[in-house]
Amino acid sequence: MNIWNRISSLSIYPKLVLAFLVVLSPMYLISWRMNDAGSSTVEKEITQSLLSRASLYMNMLEFDLSRVITLLQEYVNDEDLLKLSSSAEVMSEIEKMQAQLGLKKRLDILKHSSKFVENASAFIPSMNRTISANDRIFTAFNEDQFQSLHRPTNRFESPFLVWQNRIFISLPYPDPAVSNNQKPMFMLTVEISMNELSDVLKEFTTEGGGAVLAGEEKSWTVSGIRNEADATMLQEADMNHEGKNPDEAQIRSLTLKNDPYIVVSKRSPKLGMTLFMYLPSKSVTASLNSYRSWFYMLSIASIFIVLLFSYSIYLIIHQPLKKLVRSFRRIEQGHFNLEVNYPLKDEFGYLYGQFNGMVKRLDVLVHEVYEQQYRARTAELRHLQSQINPHFLYNSYFILYRMAMLKDHDNVIYFTRHLGEYFEFITRDGAEQVPLENEVKHARTYAEIQSVRFGNRIQVEFDELPEGAASYVVPRLILQPLIENCYNHGMEQKRKGGWIRVQFECQPNKIMIVVEDNGGDMDEDKLRDLQSKLHQDDSVDEHTGLLNVHRRIQIRYGGQGGLLLAVGEERGLKVTMILPGEGGMTA
């Protein structure tokens, strides 16, 4: 009873762990006992099947290749071959041609006598010629191949030779073993098709298994395994495993890359080659046909148990958590006037109560902070706007005075009209934001006033506003201070040839305004100093207009907007104003 009380007092997570262990342990125990009882029987059946297939494949190879060797020996007495190798000098061209064609026909027959024959050839040193079944014309004599293939071999125990990774059966005449290494009159060769051997090996392998055919002392190998790396490792590991009697079929276990395998080897004493066939041990347990019905019953029972247990978890945990997550998402969207109800008095009931209390307190704090930040940002914005003063005011009145003294009435009218438009714009307190078209018009007005002062010393060029940008809503007085900065700090020493360019570029979700001059005194050190001041909230220096504009744009748009500074193409200052699209389109 004490143990039960302890279990009941546990939280949900330990209860779930114990429930899974209690439900799944009996089923897995039964399944393990069933597989253990049936694996030994099935393993024996599979290994016997592997032995039968290995013996069948080796018998087929012995039958085919023994017949090829027999035909090869019979061709030693071929009349055309003997004539060409011994008396070609006294034969006419017609006779030699007829003899070669006759020999080639018989080589074709030899090639098609077995699917494992890739090519059949006759090397005739006296004619310096090679006749092959695969060649339409008679090819030149290959001395290197001839020397490599006329070595003595035992055609009844190990008939294969390897040249350039190709497998051959050769028959030189006379045999070097009985002719005191005298150079043969001719040599017959049969090239074994490694592709055909590999294809047949693949037919004899099961899914997940493989097969390797190897010559004496690993002089050559043919693999039917698609994974060549595993095939090589298996072959090396198995070849180094010596058996009691290599001529008898053997069964052994082998571990490669921590995976156990069942390996069957069968050696052919007639051909001097060994066949290795293997199967992963794990495939044995997958074919326990005698226990399949039990497996189905266990699977069905497991599915029902999992469904019932999953449904209970859904009722206990998933639904309350899902409801709580949805509530958190509503809070992320700014809905603080919600309350989540939970009828039970468990851990979730306590969590929901704390959540409701947190939401109420958070609602109060957010409103307080938001109101304080709004008031602070509004006050800061108005303060920054008030700092933008027309430094050219005194010069403008002095110019007006001189034009009046000179009785230049036309220019007085022109000048006072633009001056009036300028003061009308900067003294308008009702609107903190204006369309971009009006802001550009005000900047043009300022440039016209300055052109009266500077004359032809400085030219101001405005690009046309891009289509759709005219009604773009921006903070007031952000473009004219940039042009004023060019006049006051970039162009004050220019006596002629000065220019200021204002360009516009529309990009997805933002507008870029570039203001550039050719002042010529901007370098990297000055630029770095100005950039550092641009990001200091309390910086005050001669470039206050730039700093104020940058600060106002960031207050309006956040970190996505502001000014980027660079050295222009003629060592002037290049200012790029970035105005994000969000919140900047017309209402």
What pLDDT does residue 462 have?
93
Contact 190, 271 (CB under 8 A): no
- Structurally, at CATH architecture level, domain 387-580 sits in 2-Layer Sandwich (3.30)
Tokens encoding 53: 């297939």
Angle between the 409-426 and 393-405 helix axes, to the nearest 10 degrees? 160
What pLDDT does residue 145 have?
85
Question: Is the model's pLDDT at 385 over the cut of 70?
Answer: no
- Structurally, at CATH architecture level, domain 78-192 sits in 2-Layer Sandwich (3.30)
Q: What does the H/E/C string look like for 89-122?
A: HHCCHHHHHHHHHHHHHHHHHHHCCCCCEEEEEE
Give the C-alpha separation, 304 to 306, whole Å. Answer: 5
Question: Is the model's pLDDT at 182 over the cut of 80?
Answer: no
Confidence of residue 487 (pLDDT cuts 50, 70, 90): confident
> 455 vs 584, which has greater pLDDT?
455
Fold match between domain 78-192 and domain 387-580: no
What pLDDT does residue 575 have?
93
CB atoms within 10 A of CB 582: 11
Give the C-alpha separation, 188 to 171, whole Å. Answer: 5
Q: Please name the residues in contact with 213: beta carbons below 8 A apart, sequence gap of 6 or more.
A: 197, 201, 221, 222, 223, 224, 273, 274, 275, 276
> 380 vs 67, which has greater pLDDT?
67
What pLDDT does residue 307 have?
64
Confidence of residue 29 (pLDDT cuts 50, 70, 90): confident
Whose tokens are 């399949």? That residue is 292
Q: Where along the chain do its domains lie?
A: 78-192, 310-382, 387-580
Of all residues in the chain, what percent carry a pLDDT higher than 90?
7
Per-residue pLDDT tens digits for 305-362 = 766 776 777 677 767 777 777 888 877 777 777 777 777 777 777 787 787 888 787 7
To the question of pTM greater than 0.85 for the whole model, the response is no
Across the chain, mean pLDDT equals: 78
